[in-house]
Chain A
Amino acid sequence: MDAGTMKMLAVGLVAGLGFLGPGLALGLIGFSAMQALGRNPEARGPILTNMILIGALAEAIGIYALIVAIILALVAS
């Protein structure tokens, strides 16, 4: 395999595998938020605020994988 093919393979693997974890994490966050909302619908404000806060923290990990993929695809030779 030449370098160009290897680079394409690397970019695809980084992006694909890097998004598995954050996807699972966000699903779990949503699941627990829905459960909490179902138990206690009056606490809607704090539950939603905290859900968005932690969701962005988990999303950031996926963004790191995306940055690595973008740098590999565009900047590496």
Chain B
Amino acid sequence: MFIIVVVLFLAGFIAGPIGSRLLGMEPPSFLSIAKPHVVLPSEPIFKVSTFFTVTNTLIASWLSIILLVCLFYFCTRKMRLIPGRLQGFAEVIVELLLNFMKGAAGEKNTRVLFPVVATIFLYVLTNAYLALLPFFGTIGFSEVHGDKHIFIPILRAANTDVNVPLSIAVVAFVFIEYWGLRALGFAHYLNGFFNFGQLRDGFSSLVKGKIRSAISGLMLGFINIFVGALEIFSHFIRIVSFTFRLFGNMTAGEILLVVVCFLVPFIAAIPFYGLELLIGFIQALIFAGLTLVFGTIALTPHAEE
């Protein structure tokens, strides 16, 4: 068994592009693949109207949504106190997520944060794992653009389109701000950003003639304003960092798999598939975990000085 694996790997190495380049001979006809041509923007499949085009990553994200909804619909029909197999499976997933969140956020915050964080985790995970199935990225049709034939697959990994991580990041941002506003009240939350109180105290003590407290009040006031502006900026920059973290990891993984399958056709891609499995899980965990952490920060009341 092990000998077959080694023989296949050596055959793929020697007869594939690396070996034929080293030994100076042409690869045999059944192994010659075209050089991989990676296109970063997702390819459109058809246009519904002049404004809305359906791309292959959109179809893949629809597929993952349908898969998740159907799975949990069938798991929660006819629920009993002692669960059957499907309900038990759903309970395992929910319980794992709840334990992870309780460890990071505490009991009370978990109740508030669970729907959004668990949805983000499951959606990103399903998108990432669906992309590893054999029929993703390989079934499609050829189109002619000018004088080149381009292959357009019908299904492509949903996380490799910038729009999908961007949409999830915007949803996470909106929910974090909503939780913060609801927990602390509108004025109090915004007060954390636009903190003019210290500056006002500094000016009032300057007017009253207390120079020392005025100087310290003024300096602290300016520092507070600067820190407030930095806070707002960091809240908005989260959208960019969430998006590009997920997009970069998934696109780099896809390009890596395509290039490895091109270089050594047979066995060498197996460790990289394992790497992709791990990275997909970790990225889903990171996205959901960071939303959890920022939501917890938004929900905890400010420490009174």
Q: Could you tell me which A residues sit within 8 Å of B by CB distance? A: 45-46, 49, 52-53, 56-57, 59-60, 63-64, 66-67, 70-71, 74-75
Contact = CB atoms under 8 A, between A and B. Distances in A.
Interface in B268-297: 282-283, 285-286, 289-290, 293
A60 B244 contact: yes
Contacts of B285: 52
B38 interface: yes
A53 B293 contact: yes
Nearest to A73: B38
Nearest to A69: B252
Contacts of B235: none
Contacts of B286: 52-53, 56-57
B255 interface: yes
A74 B248 contact: no
A66 B40 contact: no
A63 B282 contact: no
A56 B282 contact: yes
B293 A66 contact: no
Contact of A66 (B103, B248, B289): B248
A70 B249 contact: no
State the 6 A-B residue pairs at the shortest beta-carbon distance, nearest first.
A63-B248, A56-B286, A60-B245, A67-B248, A66-B252, A53-B289
A62 to B, nearest CB: 9
B241 interface: yes
A46 B103 contact: yes
Contacts of B255: 70
